[in-house]
Structure 1
Amino acid sequence: MKSILIGGAVSLIVSIMLTPYLIRVFSRQGFGQEIREEGPAGHKAKRGTPTMGGVAILVAMWAGYLATHLVNQLYASSSGQTPSASGLLVLLLTSSLGLVGFLDDFIKIRKQRNLGLNKTAKLVGQFVATIVFAILVLHFPNKSGFTPASVNLSFVRDITVVSFGVVGFVVFCYVAVSAWSNAVNFTDGLDGLAGGSTAMVLATYVVISFWQFRYNCSNNAFAGCYSVRDPLDLALVAACATAGCVGFLWWNAAPAKIFMGDTGSLALGGLIAGLSIATRTELLLIVIGGLFVVEMMSVVLQIAVFRASGRRLFRMAPFHHHFELAGWAETTVIIRFWLLAGICCMFGLGLFYSDWLSAWGG
């Protein structure tokens, strides 16, 4: 618990202090957001707002993680003393996708348009980052033989009757990571919407990972234990990322002084996907991240219906723009979508806990 508090505190301080510095630097360099022409008219005023703020979240997350392990080394902490394979692989996946997003943002800025990397280049970047993660995450077993991930599909624990095999797992990882990174990217359309919603999902994973640490099969094999390799370190990663999002949200909340850009949204989407894979909760994330699922499905349905009938299902997709065009104030949409995100997180946490009670015969 001390590690989680230290990591969260360091990440929060770094994020909340680094973000205004980035605002000044990016403003001087002219790193302003381009707004798509077909977007809501009220968004035109946001043109030129500094973007690529996701850099602050990534730096804060790494700072909190490394500072915590440095403190643990200095004081010879009995748990979480060194960085783990699970934690580092999830962080590397997050940073790799953040790099893809950074390149996308940078091209948008340089070419003064709302389109950065083309679809092929972005998919290739996501593919390389995910394949490396998927291959490595099946290695590095601990003393109990647990690797950072398994080839089985999971809900709260591995569903052993549904096994992908190594090749199938790699394909599944690519689909999951690209889907979640794009889902968070779609949600990042209003001031603070993606940052606040992702912070709730990550906070939920702090609780889940810490619970898995308390009842881990590596410590004691008993009914209801969790076969997760490094749950405490994953809780630390989630805590650092949560604090990084909260610190960034201080400046990103409406009216936003900076946007996270694809640098932040692709990275955060990859982060929650990586956490779900490493904590064996891949299907549970669909519930916890329900808001992101709704946002992504709104885009898919909009395209499908338009191609089939030539008519639009929503006034505009992603879904949050539909309500803006219906006359809702931007802050109203944001707060109500935050509430929806919180409800999804609580429901997912309830499912996690009910499974644990069932495993214990409760």
Structure 2
Amino acid sequence: MNNVFVAAGLASVAAVVALVVSVLLTPYLIRVFSRQGFGQEIREEGPSSHKSKRGTPTMGGVAILVAMWAGYLAAHLVMLLADSAEPPTVSGLLLLLLTTSLGLVGFLDDFIKIRKQRNLGLNKTAKLVGQLLSAVVFAVLAVRFADDRGLTPASLDLSFIRDLGTISFGLVGFVVFCYLVVGAWSNAVNLTDGLDGLAGGTSAMVLATYVIISFWQFHNTCLKSVPGCYEVRDPLDVAVVAAAAMAGCVGFLWWNAAPAKIFMGDTGSLALGGLVAGLSVVSRTELLMVIIGGLFVVEVLSVGLQVVVFRTSRRRLFRMAPFHHHFELGGWPETTVIIRFWLLSATCCLFGLGLFYADWSTARGL
């Protein structure tokens, strides 16, 4: 599996299969969920323009999850048919496990909202417990299963573009850190999922960035003695997972773009947030993810700042939080907000890729 073109072909197979599955499965889910009355509830304090969205089918994140699994398994089926002895890797399966487990938490949250006809699903404690269990299982397993180089899927060191080496958590500290990372990113994507296609499009960009990063790491994985190489485990399989999830988001976006015919719900947003968190851990880019996922960070900060300012001064910093609602209430059409936020997200992704490449070129002395 040293052939770069073959590796790129595998990622392409995962992406194409996931795209087709997502595009074809989503309208089927729209019909089924509509018949079952699985419609979105809209919070009363939200923008008045969103009232018309009440009843739109939700839980569309199921399509993204199914497409991701289908793309990943199809890529490995191609490996098998090509007489490759490459089985699914620990890193790839851990990412799928984390994403799916958080998707199940989101599915329960969505289902309770629908059944009880309210905008509140799982209570905070239940949701936190679900995120905690998902993160802990992922963290504990990610520091096991060393390969022949002694590399495990995750490192106990904090990383930026590589392990920094100056901050090491230890096992317990790493588990706590993983929980914070998974909780933060899953909630960040969840908060961003407030406009038609905003979270789906942004997630697709972030995942595309990680396809490039993981593929680059695969192409430049070697021993410590070679400058510029990456000490990561299973980067090709990580790229395959990211490619499948990215294409799943794109296919879903075909139906989720404004005016949305279906919403991803917490099923999709929690799953995607967990996936990007897991990708940052296994690719040793936890701090770089803060830049790549900059739009998610801004959305979370807007909510935090709104709460702090209101509690201290009884005044609102923004017309409404998360940040995208501030512009809606300022008179921007929803599609204008979405496109401009996509542009901001693309800028963050490109800046992150630029830093990633600059580190590699510096390490190689170019």
TM range (shorter): over 0.9
Instruction: Please tell me whether residue 71 in structure 1 is matched to residue 71 in structure 2.
Output: no
Instruction: Please tell me whether residue 128 in structure 1 is matched to residue 133 in structure 2.
Output: yes
Deviations 1:42-82 (A, max 9, x none): 0000000000000000000000001110111121137xx21
- How is 1:73-222 mapped onto 2 (pairs within 5 angstroms)? 73-77=80-84, 81-217=86-222, 221-222=225-226
Residue identity matched to 2:254: W
- Distance between the aligned counterparts of 2:218 and 2:188, measured in 1? 29
- Distance between the aligned counterparts of 2:247 and 2:83, measured in 1? 25
Q: Tell me the equivalent position of 2:310.
A: 306
Q: Tell me the equivalent position of 2:37.
A: 30
SS at match of 2:42: coil
Residue identity matched to 2:282: A
Residue identity matched to 2:65: L
Match of 2:345 among 341, 344, 347: 341
Instruction: Please tell me whether residue 238 in structure 1 is matched to residue 242 in structure 2.
Output: yes
SS at match of 1:196: helix
Residue identity matched to 1:105: D
In structure 2, runs of 5+ residues without a counterpart are: 1-7
Q: Tell me the equivalent position of 2:12.
A: 5
Residue identity matched to 1:181: S
The structural deviation recorded for 1:221 is 4.7
- Distance between the aligned counterparts of 2:289 and 2:267, measured in 1? 22
Instruction: Please tell me whether residue 49 in structure 1 is matched to residue 53 in structure 2.
Output: no
Residue identity matched to 1:67: A
- Distance between the aligned counterparts of 1:162 and 1:280, measured in 2? 13
Residue identity matched to 2:335: T
Q: Tell me the equivalent position of 1:297.
A: 301
Residue identity matched to 1:257: K
- Distance between the aligned counterparts of 2:123 and 2:153, measured in 1? 32
Q: Tell me the equivalent position of 2:357.
A: 353
- Distance between the aligned counterparts of 1:23 and 1:241, measured in 2? 20
Q: Tell me the equivalent position of 1:325.
A: 329
Residue identity matched to 2:356: F
In structure 1, runs of 5+ residues without a counterpart are: none
SS at match of 2:357: helix
- Distance between the aligned counterparts of 1:166 and 1:352, measured in 2? 27
- Distance between the aligned counterparts of 1:308 and 1:84, measured in 2? 50
| Overall identity of the aligned pairs, in % | 74
Residue identity matched to 1:101: G
Residue identity matched to 1:23: I
Give the RMSD, CA atoms, in angstroms.
Answer: 0.8
SS at match of 1:52: coil
So what's the TM-score if we normalise by structure 1? Answer: 0.98
Instruction: Please tell me whether residue 260 in structure 1 is matched to residue 267 in structure 2.
Output: no
Residue identity matched to 2:45: E
Farther off after superposition, 101-110 or 306-315: 306-315
- Distance between the aligned counterparts of 2:184 and 2:174, measured in 1? 15
The structural deviation recorded for 1:146 is 0.4
Q: Tell me the equivalent position of 1:273.
A: 277
